[in-house]
Structures are given as C-alpha cells and as structure tokens.
C-alpha cells in the first residue's frame, strides 16, 4: 500500500511539474491554428486512461467519420473478426437440352464484395452443368435487411455520390475498395465536338444515362459531372472532356437489388448465356429451390481495413444493419444503432455523450465529445480484437494506399512519418482526427481533435496541433 501511494505521489508530482509547461505550449499552438470556438481536443495516457490534456473536451461535436471507430469496435465484438457475408444463388428449375427452365434466386446478406468476377463464376457453374440458356426469371431476395435504404442523415444533394450509397442485402461493388451500391462510369473522349463514349463497371445495370457531354480540344478544361437525379435511376453526364483525357467517377445505384441482377444478366449474356422470357424482380427464395452457388466475403478482420483506412461508408451502414439483424432479428438502422449503444455502455463509454444517426458519421446530427473518443481509444486497447482495430487505422505519411489510407498525404516529413495512427473525419465545415500518436518521448497517446462550423479547410491546422503533441509529450 505504501509503495502504491508513493508511486501515486510521484506521478502527481511529475504531472504538476511538467504538465503546465506542456499544456501552455500546446494551448498556444491550438490558439494559433484552431482558435477557441467550435473546437475540442483531448489527449489521454492509454495505459492509465487519464486525461493529460483537454480543451472543451466534454463539448458535444460532430464527429464525421471518426464515428467509424465506434462502429468498427462494435462490429468486431458483435459479429466477430471471422464473420463473412454470404450470397447464395438458388434455382427452382430443371435442365432440359442445355436450357435451364426455371428461375434463379439471389439471396443476399449484405456482402459488399459481390462483384463481376462472381457473376462469371456462376456462369462457369452453369456451363459445367451444360446450361447455355435460361428460360425463367431472376429474383432478388433482399429481406435480410429492412427499413430505409438510405441512412437518415444523407442530404438530397449527396445521394448521387459514392459516399452516400443505398444499402441493400443484395448489392454489388465495382472495385477493390468495396464501394458497394455504386458503379463506375467511364467517360472517354471521341472526336472534337462529338459526344464521348460511356462505359460501365461492373456492367450496364439498367440505369438510364443521359449523355449531354462534349469532346473538346486537349488544351481545354475537364468539366465532366456525373449526377444521378434525386430518387431516380436517371444519370446525367454533362460538361466537356478534353481529347486524350478519359474520366471516370462513381455514382450510386438507385436500386442495388435490381441493378445487381441486371448487371448479372448482362455479364452472362456477354459470356455466351442466353435468356428468354426473363423478368427481373424481388421475391423470396421458395422452400423447394436448390442451392446452386454460395459466395462468402472476406472475413471482417480484412474488411475492416478498407472500412477504416479508406473511410468506406457503404461498409459502415452494412455493418450497422447486420448487427441489428444478428442481435435483434431486424436488419434496420434503428436496431443496429441500438446494438452499438449497448456495446458502448458495456465497455464503459458514457453513451449520454453519444448521439447516433448512422454508423458512418455522414449525418450532421451525430454527436460525441473528444474526451469520449479518447475514452473509446483507451478502452479498445484491452479488447481481444485490438490488433485488428489498430492495424486498420490509416498511418500518417505511408504512401502505400493500403497502409496510409486517408493519411497517406499527411505527416510526410521523415520525423513525422509512421507516428500517427488515426481515423480522419470530414463533412462540410467539419474536420476531425482521432487515434494514437507516438510522442517524442517514445510514448503512445490517444488523442482526438474535433472542429466544426469551419469556413476553411482545417486539415493542415489539425496536423500542426498533432505535431505539437508529438514534440511536447
């Protein structure tokens, strides 16, 4: 007991003697770069959980994508690091003279990694079975998720963009970032004055494209815009595209379930499989259907990397709905967010300081505090999934996208590189960063810097504050 109190007195002495000098210097840096209004900063010793510095640490702030830290922690705990999303394809038909007479049913469970190569695998299976044509319908069973396809905080003007996808239990992804619920549109210049060519990944999926763009000379500016109309499957491509400068961008799917089935059909037709009298609709898998194909996603311990490093919003909302389905039997946003709230309470977060409207952080109604973010960062160090959680954070100054993620162009100087492991956050007027920083002393600290209602980009200013943390601790 005496040794314990002696150690405590020593720690307190060091805190009282050293900390004011550090705090003053850090205060000056914060004042210079962030000011005093609409900011919140917290630093904790991850070993003890003690707050070693705070400024407005208990003020509710918009977290933006730093909210994904709690979503990731909740998902790793609730679903398990080995969780895999599954897509099954069934048939109720029979093969007659090289033709499948009957329907194909796609049962989705939120797999964000269902892609064109999987369509081709199904085509190969059909060919092995001797099937060269299908006389029947394609049905999508997306009943694993319920409720709204869009999280409540997505603004009307954002619906077209890849970071605001509609969430369905049956969906597809066009890339290795697994931006589920989107497609890639390629705009390729032709002759000057003519409309450009339009191509799609993974395939044409039934969206209506209105090409209003024009090919211009190579010395003119690229002004291409690709916008899906609000609550519509019509996509308008407008602007100028210079010769020799192809352009690509992501656009959200209007109806991921049906769009996925249409893309599947187009892909199989290109692979030599014919369709006759084929309707594409939603329908539950009947009990008499026979399993034809099962696809498992990468495990969650792998998917959490693009989720956190690249700030993938579609994975965020898929995780929320999956947690709701797993725990409560309801794959909707409300149920999933309740799972997150319960987990937060169980591990010791003060959920009165957390206001959740989604799992991605895109909503302006989300709230938490810098002190709660650092509290989370301290607590998860003792969770069994922490090595996965930590390795999924973006690493400052690491140019490889799969390592540096959203921090790959920040902290590039040699003395800063590889010392910041943190989740970035940004929505209009909001700039945040939360994670771990290796200080000059060699000690690691948990930190959170939050700003909101900003009129200019605060990324570089936040980085200056984090650099000051490195130097002064």
Q: What's the confidence (pLDDT) of residue 25?
A: 86
The stretch 438-462 carries a mean pLDDT of: 97
Query: 105-115: per-residue pLDDT in tens?
Result: 999 999 999 99
Please answer whether residues 36 and 394 qualify as being in contact, where contact means their C-beta atoms are separated by less than 8 angstroms: no
Catalytic residue among 40, 42, 65, 406: 65
Q: Are residue 94 and residue 75 in the same domain, yes or no?
A: no
Are 316 and 405 contained in the same domain?
yes
* Predicted local confidence at residue 10, as pLDDT: 34
Active site (annotated) includes residue 65:
yes
Q: What average pLDDT is seen over the chain?
A: 94
**Tokens describing residue 358:** 């989604």
For the question of residue 151 being annotated catalytic, the response is no
Domain count, the chain: 3
Q: Using DSSP, state whether 162 is helix, strand or coil.
A: coil
User: Is residue 207 predicted with pLDDT exceeding 70?
Assistant: yes
Can you tell me the distance from the alpha carbon of 233 to that of 207, in angstroms, rounded to the nearest whole number?
5
Specify whether 42 is catalytic. no
User: What backbone phi and psi angles, to 5 degrees, belong to 394?
Assistant: -60, 145
What are 382-391's pLDDT values in tens digits? 999 999 999 9
Lowest mean pLDDT across 2-6, 241-245, 361-365: 2-6
Listed range (14-28, 66-80, 176-190) with the worst mean pLDDT:
14-28
Q: For 32-51, what is each residue's pLDDT tens digit?
A: 999 999 999 999 999 999 99
Same domain flag for 265 and 222: no
Which residue(s) pair with 140 in the sheet? 106, 282
Token pair listed for 350: 């003060």
Average pLDDT over residues 210-214: 98
**DSSP output for 282-306:** E-PPPTT-EEEEEEEPPPHHHHHHH
Residue 5: predicted pLDDT: 35
Buried/exposed 69-83: b ≥16 CB within 10 Å, e otherwise: bbbbbbbbbbbebeb
> Domain containing 263 — which CATH number?
3.50.80.20
Same-domain check for residues 276 and 321: no
Residues 340 and 457 in one domain: yes
Domain of residue 53, CATH code: 3.40.710.10
438 and 320, same structural domain? yes
Name the catalytic one among 40, 168, 173, 311: 311
Residues of the domain holding 194: 156-252
Catalytic residue, candidates 55, 62, 68, 107: 68
330 lies in the same domain as 407: yes
* Residue 440 and residue 420 share a domain: yes
Do 53 and 137 lie in a common domain? no
**How far is CA 342 from its chain centroid?**
22
**What local confidence, expressed as pLDDT, does residue 23 receive?**
52
Structure-token pair, residue 228: 């899906």
Average pLDDT value for residue range 133-156: 96
Among 284, 292, 282, 280, which residue's Cα sits nearest to residue 90?
292
Q: Which of 252, 283, 315 is the last residue of a domain?
A: 252
């Amino acid at each position: 007991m005496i040794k314990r109190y002696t150690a405590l007195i020593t720690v307190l002495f060091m805190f009282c003697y050293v900390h004011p000098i550090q705090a003053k210097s850090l205060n000056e840096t914060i004042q210079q770069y962030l000011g005093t209004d609409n900011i919140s900063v917290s630093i904790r010793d991850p070993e003890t959980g003690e707050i070693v510095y705070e400024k407005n640490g208990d003020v509710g702030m918009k977290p933006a994508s730093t909210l994904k830290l709690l979503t990731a922690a909740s998902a790793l705990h609730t679903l398990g690091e080995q969780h895999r999303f599954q897509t099954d394809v069934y048939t109720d038909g029979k093969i007659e003279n090289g033709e499948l007479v009957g329907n194909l049913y796609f049962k989705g469970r939120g797999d964000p990694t269902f892609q064109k190569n999987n369509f081709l695998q199904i085509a190969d299976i059909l060919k092995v079975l001797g099937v060269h044509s299908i006389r029947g319908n394609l049905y999508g069973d997306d009943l694993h998720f319920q409720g709204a396809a869009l999280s409540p905080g997505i603004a009307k003007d954002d619906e077209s963009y890849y970071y605001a996808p509609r969430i369905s239990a049956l969906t597809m992804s066009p890339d290795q970032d697994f931006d589920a619920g989107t497609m890639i549109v390629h705009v390729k210049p032709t002759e000057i004055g003519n409309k450009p060519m339009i191509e799609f990944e993974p395939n044409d999926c039934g969206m209506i494209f209105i090409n209003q763009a024009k090919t211009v000379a190579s010395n003119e500016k690229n002004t291409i815009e690709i916008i899906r109309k609000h609550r519509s499957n019509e996509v308008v491509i407008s602007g100028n595209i210079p010769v020799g400068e192809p352009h690509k961008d992501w656009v959200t799917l209007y109806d991921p379930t049906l769009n996925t089935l249409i893309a599947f059909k187009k892909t199989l037709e290109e692979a030599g499989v014919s369709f006759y009298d084929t309707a594409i609709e939603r329908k539950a898998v009947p009990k008499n259907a026979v399993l034809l194909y099962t696809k498992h996603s990468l495990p969650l311990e792998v998917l959490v990397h693009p989720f956190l490093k690249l700030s993938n919003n579609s994975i965020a909302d898929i995780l929320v709905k999956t947690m709701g389905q797993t725990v409560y039997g309801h794959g909707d946003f409300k149920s999933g967010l309740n799972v997150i709230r319960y987990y937060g309470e169980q591990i010791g977060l003060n959920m009165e300081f957390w206001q959740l409207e989604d799992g991605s952080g895109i909503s302006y109604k989300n709230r938490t505090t810098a002190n709660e973010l650092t509290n989370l960062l301290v607590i998860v160090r003792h969770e069994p999934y922490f090595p996965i959680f930590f390795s999924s954070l973006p690493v400052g100054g690491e140019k490889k996208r799969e390592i540096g993620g959203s921090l790959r162009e920040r902290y590039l100087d040699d003395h800063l590189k590889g010392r910041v492991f943190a989740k970035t956050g940004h929505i209009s007027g909001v700039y945040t960063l939360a994670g771990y920083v290796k200080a000059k002393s060699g000690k690691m600290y948990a930190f959170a810097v939050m700003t909101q209602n900003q009129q200019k980009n605060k990324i570089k200013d936040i980085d200056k504050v984090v650099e000051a943390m490195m130097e002064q601790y």
